[in-house]
Amino acid sequence: MADSAKTLLVQIDSRLEMTSLVGTCIRALCLDAGLDEMAAYQVQTCTIEAVNNAIIHAYGGQSGHSVEIRWRLDDAGLSIQVGDHGKTMAEMPPEIAPDPLAESGRGWWIMRQWMDSVDYETDGTGNRVILRKLLA
Amino acid sequence: MRYWLEQEDDRGDLLQLQVKQLTAASAPQAFEEVRQRMHAARPLVMDMRQLDFIDSSAIGELVLLGRQFRTRAAAFVISGLSPPLMGLVEMMRLNQVMDFSPDVDGAFAKMATDTSGADSHHGR
């Protein structure tokens, strides 16, 4: 049986100025998939947070490395994988609300609040953050 | 790149953001521009109605800027954030530690009713 899923792979260099393009692309894909403005904004934000983490933490803010964003839409919902080949995250960030006066440490909280699930996987080929959202 | 347009307003200083997105790539420079325009103890409204995206790095820069205003005991109000962006602000509880208003007039009215002359979250 043919796979009816729609997939798209976007690959960027590990430069922070590239994240806006990724966000614009993801937002358009979400709207095309039928999400409303708020939900599309939420998925856009979570994707950019994951891409920021790959560039800043996995690659130490250095350009010249690859970040891959894989979009998949099927009957169950959408998933976005953000992959890198840099430093692996040593431990998962705590699932507690960040202090409103903190200057950093909000990315994972935002992803966990706005996506239906957020997973982190690592193996010999690299690291992946997997964002999932169910479609009503 | 110039991020802000300084608007004439007899009620106080007003900066209007000229870009649609503030991210880890742009926020440090954008808020550094604000710091360079800060006048000691002068209240400031930052009109962000043109903004349609902000990430957590930019929120961190916003928090840092708000802290600098509190240190100077100067009122600081952000106006015009769209509903999705206010949703992010509320989820991060920034509205508990900083002042926001739907529009510029409301922002200046908020300053006028603050009898201390400083941001209402100054004591935190």
For residue B74, the domain's CATH number is: 3.30.750.24
Any domain includes A53: yes
Any domain includes B75: yes
In tens, the pLDDT along B95-105 reads: 999 999 999 99
Strand bridging mode A126-134 / A77-84:
antiparallel
Any domain includes A96: yes
Any domain includes A1: no
pLDDT at B91: 92
pLDDT of B60 over the 70 cut: yes
Beta strand segments in chain B, E: 4-7, 13-17, 21-22, 44-47, 53-54, 76-79, 99-101
Share of chain A above pLDDT 70, in %: 99
Nearest CA distance, B103 vs chain A (angstrom): 20
Tokens of B88: 């992010």
pLDDT at A71: 98
In tens, the pLDDT along A51-106 reads: 999 999 999 999 999 999 999 999 989 999 999 999 999 989 888 889 898 888 89
Any domain includes A38: yes
Enter the ipTM: 0.85
Partner residue opposite B63 with nearest CB, options A19, A48, A103: A103
Angle at B28 between CA B10 and CA A70, to 5 degrees: 125
Any domain includes A110: yes
Share of chain B above pLDDT 90, in %: 60
| Mean pLDDT confidence for B23-36 | 92
Tokens of A5: 């899923």
| B28-57 per-residue burial string, b: 16 or more CB within 10 A, e: under 16 | bebbeebeeebeeeebbbbbbeebbbbbbb
Chain B residues within 8 A of A98 when measuring between CB atoms: 92
Nearest CA distance, A128 vs chain B (angstrom): 20
What span, in angstroms and rounded, lies between the C-alpha atoms of A46 and A52?
Answer: 10
Partner residue opposite B53 with nearest CB, options A15, A44, A97: A44
Any domain includes B122: no
Strand bridging mode B13-17 / B21-22:
unpaired
Any domain includes B123: no
In tens, the pLDDT along A15-41 reads: 999 999 999 999 999 999 999 999 999
Total of domains in chain B: 1
Q: In what helix (H) or strand (E) does residue A130 lie, and over which residues does it extend?
A: strand A126-134
Any domain includes A20: yes
| Mean pLDDT confidence for B3-21 | 86
Which of the residues B55, B78, B94 would you substitute to probe the A interface, choosing the one with the greatest number of A C-beta atoms within 10 Å? Answer: B55
For residue A30, the domain's CATH number is: 3.30.565.10
Any domain includes B119: no
pLDDT of A46 over the 70 cut: yes
Single out the residue of B71, B9, B10, B77 nearest to residue B43, CA to CA. Answer: B77
Nearest CA distance, B8 vs chain A (angstrom): 31
Contact A16 B59 (CB under 8 A): no
Q: How far is CA A35 from CA A27, A59, A77, B11, B61, in A?
A: 9, 32, 11, 41, 30
Any domain includes B124: no
Chain A residues within 8 A of B21 when measuring between CB atoms: 20, 23
Which DSSP state fits B8? P
Which domain, by its residues, includes A121? 6-134
Any domain includes B27: yes
Which domain, by its residues, includes B46? 4-113
In order, the DSSP letters of A37-72 are: HHHHHHHHHHHHHHHHHIIIIISTT-SS-EEEEEEE
In tens, the pLDDT along B68-95 reads: 888 888 889 999 999 999 999 999 999 9
Total of domains in chain A: 1
Any domain includes B105: yes
What span, in angstroms and rounded, lies between the C-alpha atoms of A57 and B106?
Answer: 40
pLDDT of B1 over the 80 cut: no
Chain B residues within 8 A of A44 when measuring between CB atoms: 53
pLDDT at A15: 97
